A and B are shown apart, each in its own frame.
Chain A
Amino acid sequence: MTVVELSPFSMLVPLIASAVCALLPGRLWPWLLTFAAAAASAVIAAITLAAAMDGPLSYAFGNWEPPIGIEYRIDAANAFVALLVSAVAAVILPWAKTSVDQEVPERQGPFYALFLLAFAGLMGITLTGDAFNVFVFLEISSLATYALIAHGQDRRALLAAFRYLIMGTVGATFLLIGIGFLYMMTGTLNMVDLAQRLPELRDTATVEVALAFIVVGMGLKLALLPLHLWLPNAYTYAPSFISVFLAATATKVALYVLLRFTFTVFAPDYSFVALPLAVVLMALAIAGMVVGSWVAIYQANIKRMLAYSSVAQVGYMVLGVSLVSVTGLTAALLHMFNHALMKAALFMALGTIAYQVGSVRIEAFRGLGKRMPWTLTAFALAGVSLIGLPPTAGFISKWYLISAAVESGHAWLVALIVITSMMALIYIWRVLEAAWFRQPAEDAPAVTEAPLRLLIPVWVLVAANFYFGIDTRLNVGAATAAAEALMGGIPGGAP
């Protein structure tokens, strides 16, 4: 079996496992199968990335030659995102077992089956080279995600899931309209084929409208500011495990789709010229950074605070994209990776607190620093990465973002990035202040440190935040290769 034949299995393994998982009884077997599937998927994705760094891989499903058949086309960019998604899933699952046992005590078979479906959907979106396939996988992962969010213990989880369903479906339908227009104009759905045929049609209104629909549709999924309204509640009321997974992966995959369409299908010299996309994206990114950070400062529910912080962090990524340069894209992709590390660590530390304390409101944090020192220290260190201080991964991505801003002549953006980082410092500090400098309320229940089976995965991710801040060969190397693949137009040059 060659690497090319192996590559689609990083999507197929979780997809097939989910059907089996739905039938498994009890608590151990569904989790074990899910973990095995995620780990296998991550290993395959790692092998695929290593091979894709040398040039794009193309796998034709059912041996139907592209562009007629559905093609999986894997270059450095999507192999990078696929590895990110599957590695996050594999790392958080050992932690998830304990948390899910508490928060979703019954019918775990279907619960993990839904998780595997959402995971397989995200992998499918990432790996496919077919525009319509993107829509189908997007809906597979979204529908599973709505059901997963509704598993939250609070009844508001249902409302959050419902609102996400409405907005998510509108977003996906917008993407479908855009793809429909592209198909009408070109008669093909294969991305490489689209990229070759679109330049002749670049002056038509239909193609412009298609681009606009796709950008707005993916903006909804990406939670770019004015379209972010579904995100805070969805992250806040979902089960802790699902919050971790969504925060670390879902918006990243949406950003990848946006990049794939604006840079590969429409060449960047079209998509950022025909529409004032660079200006619009930059304005929305800045608004997201400022508003997201600002609102986060005032949240009493810390999970919601981190959710608003995610809106701000999406702003950083989109800001990198809006600079339309290799450095800017590298910064965006790098922040995609690093943000997954830091937000997964933060949400996991928070989920650990939810497991031990039963609340994630700021009042519950009073005096927690002495009672759960390991968990709170992990939260603090991951927070340092979120703020972007050296030697953490967060510093590396901000460094690249600042260099990209200076390089493209927007030096004023540096001040903005520093200011919003200060705002991150404020909202992380609020939590730490409550944890270490406040006395616990007198009626507060006795709390002890979390068990090791929760702490070890959290600390693995915290360590990763520092590792990727010091040894940047893997993340910067892959992000640079991915950015070059995207800027190069047709992935990796001619097939």
Chain B
Amino acid sequence: MEWLGHFNYWIVVVLMMIGFYGVIARGNMVKKILALNVFQTSVFILFISAGKIIGGSTPILREGVSAYSNPLPHVLILTAIVVGVATVAVGLALAIRIREAYGSIEDDRIAAQEADEENRQSEPSR
């Protein structure tokens, strides 16, 4: 069962596609942000999986252990998680401001409001 051995990577692919689909297909801004977060999380798992060495121990130097898992991906992903949290925070803050300005966070309703405004703006000039 070769493909089961790559279980992590299948999860990565599935999560990545779910997240990416959500980012593209959802019109609700909060859902878009959440989907974006799922998308990013899949990449985190990809990195972490790469750090695992079969038979490797936790990367703490001690006697009787010769193979250690690679700790560097974890450190990198710690940074990427911080970036991800900051992105979600900025995204949600923007969603709140958009809700205050438009009264909605649904893409199609805002687009309708925008179209109205655009018509009003161009009429008097022509």
Distance between Cα atoms of A363 and B125 in the complex (Å): 7
Chain B: minimal CB distance from A325 (Å): 35
- Report yes or no: A169 in contact with B40, Cβ–Cβ below 8 A: yes
Which A residues are CB-close (under 8 A) to B32? 166
- Residue A424 at the chain B interface, CB threshold 8 Å: no
- Report yes or no: A162 in contact with B50, Cβ–Cβ below 8 A: no
- Residue A139 at the chain B interface, CB threshold 8 Å: yes
Which B residues are CB-close (under 8 A) to A332? none
Q: Which of B40, B114, B121 is A173 in contact with, Cβ under 8 Å?
A: B40
Q: Provide the A180-214 mask, 1 if CB < 8 A to any CB of B, else 0.
A: 10011000000000000000000000000000000
Say whether, besides A150-B97, A170-B36, A165 and B43 are in contact (CB < 8 Å). Answer: no
Which A residues are CB-close (under 8 A) to B125? 361, 363
- Residue A177 at the chain B interface, CB threshold 8 Å: yes
Distance between Cα atoms of A177 and B97 in the complex (Å): 31
Which A residues are CB-close (under 8 A) to B1? none
Best-buried of A132, A147, A180 by chain B (most CB within 10 Å): A180
Q: Chain B interface secondary structure, helix, strand, loop or mixed?
A: helix
- Residue A350 at the chain B interface, CB threshold 8 Å: no
Chain-B contact segment, one of A151-159, A310-318, A403-411: A151-159
- Report yes or no: A150 in contact with B94, Cβ–Cβ below 8 A: yes
Which B residues are CB-close (under 8 A) to A173? 39-40, 43
Which A residues are CB-close (under 8 A) to B18? none
- Residue A95 at the chain B interface, CB threshold 8 Å: no
Chain A: minimal CB distance from B84 (Å): 9
Say whether, besides A132-B76, A155-B102, A147 and B46 are in contact (CB < 8 Å). Answer: no
- Residue A46 at the chain B interface, CB threshold 8 Å: no
Listed A/B pairs (25) with beta-carbon separation below 8 Å:
A132-B76, A132-B79, A135-B80, A135-B83, A136-B79, A139-B86, A143-B86, A147-B90, A150-B94, A159-B98, A159-B110, A162-B98, A165-B94, A166-B36, A169-B36, A169-B40, A169-B91, A170-B39, A176-B43, A177-B43, A180-B46, A183-B76, A184-B50, A300-B122, A363-B125
Q: Which residues of A contact B (CB under 8 A)?
A: 132, 135-136, 139, 143, 146-147, 150, 155-156, 158-159, 161-162, 165-166, 169-170, 173, 176-177, 180, 183-184, 300, 361, 363
Q: A135-B83, A146-B94, A165-B94 are in contact. List 10 more A-B contacts (CB 8 A).
A: A136-B83, A155-B98, A162-B91, A166-B32, A166-B91, A176-B43, A176-B80, A177-B46, A180-B50, A361-B125
